[in-house]
Structure formats: C-alpha cells, structure tokens
C-alpha cells in the first residue's frame, strides 16, 4: 500500500522565500547588528568582520552567513533523561512542549491568576510528564518563592527531578548557564555524554530591531561550546519593533536569527541551532502582542518555511492563547495554532498550557491542549490507503445482511484510523446533564487530579538526584538562600 | 494666512499626523507674531484633543495617536523657546521625564507612554532606553519635572526602580516630583513596596494616573 500524503501548508512562493533571505543578508551587511557582548565582538573581529566597537555594531557579510549556514546541522536529536528515547528535531517532525517561562498560574478553584510557587511548578512538570502528546518538558513556569537570581536554575532543577522528558529552558543571567549545564551533565554523567545526547534546548531571544543583548549572546556562545542546542527566538512586533508588513517582519526576523546562528557557529562550528521565534502581530488598539492573532501564526509559518529552505530545524510559539481563562477564545486560538504549526511542519512547537500573552500557565489547559495536539498528530498522519478495494467487499457483506460494527475489519482498523478524546465532550445531552454539566475546563481539572494522584513522579537515579540537589544548594547559597523551599515528596 | 485659517491648519495637521506641516505652521505663527500660547490653545491643542476623542471612540489606532503626538512635539519644539523668551507660562499640563532604566534596552512600552502623555498635553522629556538612574534625577531637577516615569521590561532591571527610589531619598528629593513605574513585570504591589507614587499597567492608565495625582493639570486643560 502507498503511504499517506503528509498534509502540508506553505504560505510563501519559493521566489519570495529567496528574496526575503537575500534582503536579510543585505540588512546584516549594510545595517549590521548591535551586539552587546564583548566575547562575541571578538569572534566577529577574528572572522574578519567590520566591528564598530564604541557602539558595538557588527557588519556581517553574506559570505560569512553562508559559511555558517553550511556548518549548522539540519537535524538535532534530543534524548530523554534515560538517554533511551530519541526525538528528531528537523525535517517535518512536530514536537509540542508547554509554552515557556510564565510567572503566573491560573488557579482552578477561584479562576484567578496568582504567582506560581514551588508546588505549582512541580505539579506543572508532573502533569506535562504524564501527557503523551507533549513530547518535551519546558521550564514553563517560574517559581516565585525563590530569589530572582536563582529562578532560572531552580526551574530546570525541578524539571529534571520530576520528569524524564527532554527540556526546553534558558538562562535569566549570564552566570545562570554554569549551574544549569552542570545539572544536565550530572544527569548524563559527563560533558561528552551530554554533547552526544542533548537533553535540553536553551532559548535565546534577540531584542528587536537588530540587537542581541549580552545575556542572550553569552547563552548562545556557552551552549555552542557545550553542544546544547540554542533556539533563536526573534520576536518582532509588527509596526512596533519591526516593519508592519508581514514580509517586512520576516526579513528582520531572518536577519536577527541568522546573526544568532553566526554567533553560535563562530563559537563552535557545527553547533546545534534551531531557527525559532516569538514574533507577533502588534495590536494597534491595546498595544499588546496577541499570540492568538492569525497574522502572528502566518508570520510563524512564513519563517518556518524560510528556515526549511535553509535546511534548519524550526521552532515557534504556537498553540497558545491570549484569553485569561479556558474559554472559547482559548480553545479557538490554541486549536488554530496547533493545526497550523502541524501543517507547517514546525519541529518544536511551544505553547500548550499558556494563556494571557505568554505570561500565565494553566494545568487544565495543558490537559486540554494535549488533546488538541493528539488531534494534530492524527491529522499529520494523513489518510492512509489500507487496502484495495477499500469498501467493495465490506459493502457486499452488508448487502448480504452483515453489520459494519461487528465486522472483524472494523475491529482491526478502528483504533488505527481514529483517535478518541478523553476530555472533549461527545456525550448525548442527557448524559452530559447526568454527569454534572461539566465544562471542558472541569473535566480537564478532574484529569489533572487523576494524573497528580495516581501517577508517581518520574524520578532520576538517586545519585543523579543527589548531585542535582548539591548543585542547586550551592547555587542558592551563592545568592544568599540558605534553604530551598520544601518540595512535596522530597526530603531536601 | 489669516489667524483663523492658520489655527484650523494647525488643528488638521495634528489630526492627520503631518509632523513637518505642524512644525512649519508653528514657525509661521512665530513669524507672523502670533502669541505661542494662542497657537497652542486655538490650533494645536484642539487638534490633539480631537485625536484623543477619535481614540476613545475606537476610530483611531496607535499609529495615528503616536504620529499626532509627534506633531505636538514638533510644534512645541518651536513654540516653547518663544514662550520662554517672552517669560510666559505655558498652557500645557505638567512636565514628565521618562525613560527605560539602565541595563534595559526595551523601549516600545515607554514610547507609547511618552506618546500618550504628549497627546494629552503634557510636556515630555524622553531620555530613551538604558538610562542611568542619576540622569533621570538630573533632568527632573533641570526642568522641574512633575513626574518621573521609569520603565523596565525585565525582572532583573526592575530592581533599578527600587534603587532609583533609594537615590531619591538619599538626595532629599522625595517631595519634588512623583515617581511612576511601569513595565511587563511591574505590579501595583511592587510600586507600593519600593515607595513609588504610582503604577500603571498601560499608557492610557499612566495618563489617567498622572491626572489623578496632579489635579492642577486638569484645571489648566
């Protein structure tokens, strides 16, 4: 039997992709990039680029960008904490992970946002760990009960303690890299083992237009040297920090990300890099950055197509919502984004769980979105011809008085051809009333409780856990924190 | 151009966001010996007030609001020195010194707040992004500012807002201006904790806050 067509959607003509890349190269050559980091400026100077030191502006030639593109791997393989399950980040593979770095959680009980604490972060990690369609963990919630200076390493510490999935994370300060890298190394056993089997992706965001800050540039350099994949998160806001046209924003996006890619390759050739982003259609009424705007999603699909033309792995912030609670808007925006990200073949899709412009996480939404992601995977598997003829013998049998429902053929194929939701309501009206008129949010909460109640945390081997604790305690002590907040189920 | 005509041109230049025209008309008014305060009161301010109405009605969007604010800025750059020369007090509302705190290069939110202040008839001194804390104080003292507005987008640079309040106390300037703070990670509670006089979550709220803290600005409008 022939395989299914992989459903795919491209928004740009090939000539437009080419002209956007050409213009981005021209921008880097003529306007350059503001780079705040001394070490990176040194790397550019060594590579023969014109560096305007006093204003920290670097002019990057098309030749250097092309050379760096040639040395960047087109696929990355991430491994889970055990080092067993491999995830290809490249081609048209799609992996969902929760949207990253929210500081608040939507409390189910009173449906208001509040600061996230250690217990919330642990619950968030454990729920994500239990959801099959979220392939990666993310440090998607930042704990408010530790000082800001350790917030970056603390969230990774908890993620590695409570989940076996690969992690999407990042630093909040330049000194944050060392302890976080040490934690990953502790899990893998050695720096070489971590390089051979990457466990985490680090996000690094340029500041639009055309700037890379000291912190994010340092993260690129440090990750390149440790073999940790960097996810480049350019985030122009149309008409506010990038051109108002979608194509104009795509040019700027490409220029910023390519500059980041060059920094990685100069730090270490063949360093793994993911061409990602979090651009948005800037709302000209409210001054906000709606991630659920259709134009935001179109820009994401556009730059993913550009990245694919350059044979690079891709990432986007999609399948998230600007709604404040799990309402119709949140389902609409998340569902649209997840489907479009899948059709665009974006490799790392960060978004599930997120509300309110990337600032709030909801455990219930994680559960709901997981189901959406499952539907997307089903869509991407396409329509597969299972046998020829497909219907004739079955219809013959029915005409003789047979029933579809009892046919061995039905039993053979129904689970392969269809996915059945856990959370979506497919009851009759009466059955729905009888089971308490629950909304999707209520049913998702029941599932959250079930996951947290019935599923023991996925813990690392005791030696690795002890080493993680040692690193975290030393890091906390460095910033004046004598004791870590108590964690349920851990005696620290 | 007769006076009524030039005032009408000023009004429409602001409404339509034609900055070069606004500046040209301001110069023309000076050349014709029109009182700068009259040019403001009969020309430019009615224009920006209309822009405010169009905004409130949902007709105008940010690009229109901001370019109209730019018109006000261009006209003021011409008229303000004339007022000073004539030792006349401006009909404008209060003075606002604004910027993004040091270590932070994000300035879009700050720009919107600055534009909204300008659009509402405040005199705005925008120091840009990554501004040294002492520079805010120096400017505020030099222009006798009514408000100092500090923006911060990062949880790390937000701490500079607290440091600024410390500097204000050290230099005994607590009563000389009001400090307003804003930015993505900033909350009302944070503003209270550090002793700032106000917090606003967006540009419109910032102006409302300033007006509520500064009743004389309302009277003058």
B162: contact with A, CB 8 A cutoff: no
Verify that B193 and B157 share a domain, yes or no: yes
Domain with B205 in it: 95-220
DSSP state of A291: T
Lowest mean pLDDT segment, chosen from A178-187, A240-249, A455-464:
A455-464
ipTM metric:
0.77
Verify that B112 and B192 share a domain, yes or no: yes
Residue A369 CB partners (closer than 8 Å, separation 6+)? A96, A134, A319, A334, A338, A351, A352, A353
Confidence of residue B219 (pLDDT cuts 50, 70, 90): very low
Verify that B45 and B99 share a domain, yes or no: no
Verify that B200 and B138 share a domain, yes or no: yes
Verify that B139 and B210 share a domain, yes or no: yes
The domain that contains B209 carries what CATH number?
3.40.50.280
pTM here is 0.88
Give the CA dihedral A434, A435, A436, A440, nearest 10 degrees: -130
| Residues from chain A contacting residue B56 (CB–CB below 8 Å) | none
Q: What is the mean pLDDT of residues A4-33?
A: 97
A115: contact with B, CB 8 A cutoff: no
Please provide the average confidence, as pLDDT, over all residues in chain A.
Answer: 96
Task: Give the domain-ending residue among B85, B112, B144.
Answer: B85
**Got the DSSP string for B105-157?**
---HHHHHHHHHHHHTT-EEEE--SSB-HHHHHHHHHHHT-SEEEEE--STTT
Asked if residue B79 is part of any domain, the answer here is yes
Q: Has residue B221 got a pLDDT over 60? A: no
Neighbours of B177 (CB within 10 A): 23
Asked if residue B119 is part of any domain, the answer here is yes
- CA atoms of A301 and A440, how far apart (whole Å): 29
pLDDT of res. B216: 59
A173: contact with B, CB 8 A cutoff: yes
Query: Percent of chain A scored above 90 by pLDDT?
Result: 93
| Residues from chain A contacting residue B69 (CB–CB below 8 Å) | none
Verify that B121 and B42 share a domain, yes or no: no
A435 CB-contact burial (10 Å; exposed 0-12 / middle 13-18 / buried 19+)? exposed
Verify that B28 and B51 share a domain, yes or no: yes
Asked if residue B194 is part of any domain, the answer here is yes
Q: What is the mean pLDDT of residues A347-353?
A: 98
Rg (C-alpha) for chain A, rounded Å, is: 24
B45-56 and B62-85 helices cross at what angle (nearest 10)? 160
Please answer whether residues A150 and A481 qualify as being in contact, where contact means their C-beta atoms are separated by less than 8 angstroms: yes
pLDDT of res. A1: 58
Asked if residue B153 is part of any domain, the answer here is yes
Verify that B65 and B146 share a domain, yes or no: no
pLDDT of res. B87: 76
Of A14, A18, A25, A17, the closest CA to residue A256 belongs to: A25
| Residues from chain A contacting residue B157 (CB–CB below 8 Å) | none
Confidence of residue B218 (pLDDT cuts 50, 70, 90): very low
| Residues from chain B contacting residue A113 (CB–CB below 8 Å) | none
Q: Has residue B174 got a pLDDT over 70? A: yes
pLDDT in tens, B97-145: 999 999 887 777 888 888 888 777 788 899 999 999 999 999 999 999 9
Residue B12 CB partners (closer than 8 Å, separation 6+)? B47
- CA atoms of B130 and B105, how far apart (whole Å): 5
Lowest mean pLDDT segment, chosen from A55-59, B25-29, B185-189, B193-197:
B185-189
pLDDT in tens, A190-229: 999 999 999 999 999 999 999 999 999 999 999 999 999 9
Verify that B117 and B216 share a domain, yes or no: yes
Asked if residue B216 is part of any domain, the answer here is yes
Among chain A residues, CA nearest to B205: A286
Verify that B56 and B112 share a domain, yes or no: no
pLDDT in tens, A293-326: 999 999 999 999 999 999 999 999 999 999 999 9
pLDDT of res. A277: 98
Verify that B79 and B104 share a domain, yes or no: no
Q: What is the mean pLDDT of residues B16-30?
A: 97
pLDDT of res. B43: 95
pLDDT of res. B1: 67
Given the DSSP bridges, would you call strands A50-52 and A57-59 parallel, antiparallel or unpaired?
Answer: antiparallel
Please answer whether residues A124 and A163 qualify as being in contact, where contact means their C-beta atoms are separated by less than 8 angstroms: no
Q: What is the mean pLDDT of residues A166-194?
A: 96
pLDDT of res. B49: 84
How many domains does chain B contain in total?
A: 2
Cβ-defined contact of B108 to A286 (cutoff 8 Å):
no
| A331-360 residues touching B, CB cutoff 8 A | 359
Asked if residue B53 is part of any domain, the answer here is yes
Task: Give the domain-ending residue among B67, B85, B103.
Answer: B85
Asked if residue B120 is part of any domain, the answer here is yes
| Residues from chain B contacting residue A240 (CB–CB below 8 Å) | 108
- CA atoms of A333 and A291, how far apart (whole Å): 8
Of A315, A312, A301, A311, the closest CA to residue A348 belongs to: A315
pLDDT of res. A491: 58
Among chain B residues, CA nearest to A35: B105
The domain that contains B28 carries what CATH number?
1.10.1240.10
B187: contact with A, CB 8 A cutoff: no
| Residues from chain A contacting residue B109 (CB–CB below 8 Å) | 287
Query: Percent of chain B scored above 90 by pLDDT?
Result: 52
Asked if residue B90 is part of any domain, the answer here is no
Given the DSSP bridges, would you call strands B178-182 and B147-151 parallel, antiparallel or unpaired?
Answer: parallel
pLDDT in tens, A108-138: 999 999 999 999 999 999 999 999 999 999 9
**Better-predicted residue by pLDDT, A174 or B206:** A174
- CA atoms of A37 and A490, how far apart (whole Å): 39
Task: Give the domain-ending residue among B85, B118, B149.
Answer: B85
B182: contact with A, CB 8 A cutoff: no
Cβ-defined contact of B58 to A285 (cutoff 8 Å):
yes
Verify that B52 and B154 share a domain, yes or no: no
């Amino acid at each position: 039997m022939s395989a299914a067509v992989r459903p795919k959607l491209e928004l740009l003509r090939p000539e437009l992709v080419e002209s956007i890349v050409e213009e981005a190269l021209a921008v880097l050559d003529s306007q350059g990039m503001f780079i705040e980091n001394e070490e990176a400026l040194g790397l550019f100077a060594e590579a023969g680029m014109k560096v305007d030191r006093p204003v920290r502006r670097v002019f990057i030639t098309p030749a250097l960008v092309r050379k760096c593109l040639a040395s960047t791997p087109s696929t990355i393989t991430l491994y889970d904490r055990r080092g067993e399950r491999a995830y290809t980040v490249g081609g048209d593979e799609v992996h969902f992970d929760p949207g990253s770095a929210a500081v608040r959680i939507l409390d189910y009980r009173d449906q208001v946002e509040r600061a996230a604490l250690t217990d919330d972060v642990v619950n968030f990690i454990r729920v994500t760990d239990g959801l099959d369609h979220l392939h990666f963990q993310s440090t998607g919630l930042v704990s408010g009960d530790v000082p800001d200076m350790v917030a970056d390493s603390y969230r990774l510490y908890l993620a590695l303690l409570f989940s076996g999935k690969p992690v999407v994370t990042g630093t909040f300060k330049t000194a944050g890299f060392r302890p976080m890298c040490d934690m990953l190394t502790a899990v893998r056993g050695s720096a070489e083992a971590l390089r051979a089997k990457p466990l985490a992706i680090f996000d690094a965001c340029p500041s639009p237009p055309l700037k890379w800050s000291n912190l994010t540039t340092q993260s690129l350099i440090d990750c390149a040297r440790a073999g940790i994949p960097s996810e480049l998160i350019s985030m122009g806001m149309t008409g506010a920090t990038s051109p108002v046209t979608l194509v104009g924003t795509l040019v700027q996006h490409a220029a910023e990300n390519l500059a980041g890619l060059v920094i990685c390759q100069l730090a270490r050739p063949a360093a793994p890099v993911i061409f990602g982003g979090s651009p948005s259609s800037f709302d000209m009424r409210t001054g906000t950055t709606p991630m659920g705007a259709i134009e935001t999603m179109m820009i994401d699909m556009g730059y993913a197509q550009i990245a694919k033309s350059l044979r690079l792995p891709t990432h986007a912030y999609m399948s998230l919502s600007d709604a404040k609670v799990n309402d119709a808007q949140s389902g609409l925006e998340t569902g649209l984004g997840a489907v479009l990200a899948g059709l665009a073949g974006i490799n790392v899709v960060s978004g599930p769980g997120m509300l309110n412009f990337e600032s709030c996480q909801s455990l219930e939404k994680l559960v709901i979105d997981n189901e959406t992601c499952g539907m997307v995977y089903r869509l991407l598997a396409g329509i597969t011809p299972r046998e020829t003829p497909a219907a004739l013998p079955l219809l013959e049998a029915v005409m003789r008085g047979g029933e579809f429902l009892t046919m061995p053929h039905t039993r053979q194929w129904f689970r392969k051809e269809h996915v059945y939701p856990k959370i979506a309501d497919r009851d009759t009206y009466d059955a729905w009333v009888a089971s308490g008129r629950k909304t999707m949010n209520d049913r998702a909460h029941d599932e959250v409780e079930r996951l947290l109640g019935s599923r023991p945390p996925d813990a690392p081997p005791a030696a690795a856990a002890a080493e993680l604790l040692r690193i975290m305690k030393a890091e906390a002590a460095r910033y004046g924190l004598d004791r870590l907040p108590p964690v349920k189920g851990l005696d620290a | 151009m007769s006076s009524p005509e030039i005032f009408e041109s000023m009004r429409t230049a602001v409404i339509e966001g034609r900055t070069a025209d606004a500046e040209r008309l301001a110069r023309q008014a000076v050349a014709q010996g029109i009182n700068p305060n009259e040019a403001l009161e009969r020309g430019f301010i009615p224009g920006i007030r209309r822009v405010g109405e169009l905004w409130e009605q949902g007709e105008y969007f940010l690009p229109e609001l901001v370019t109209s604010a730019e018109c006000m800025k261009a006209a003021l750059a011409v008229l303000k020195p004339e007022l000073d020369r004539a030792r006349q007090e401006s009909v404008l509302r209060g003075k606002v010194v604004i910027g993004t705190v040091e270590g932070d290069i994000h300035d879009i939110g700050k720009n919107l707040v600055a534009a909204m202040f300008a659009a509402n008839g405040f005199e705005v001194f925008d120091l840009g992004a990554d501004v040294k804390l002492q520079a805010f104080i120096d400017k505020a003292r030099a222009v006798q500012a009514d408000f100092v507005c500090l923006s911060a987008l990062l949880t790390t640079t937000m701490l500079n807002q607290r440091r600024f309040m410390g500097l204000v106390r050290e230099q005994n300037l607590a009563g000389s201006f009001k400090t307003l703070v804003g930015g993505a990670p900033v909350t009302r509670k944070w503003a209270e904790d550090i002793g700032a006089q106000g917090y606003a979550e967006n540009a419109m709220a910032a102006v409302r806050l300033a007006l509520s803290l500064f009743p004389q600005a309302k009277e003058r409008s």
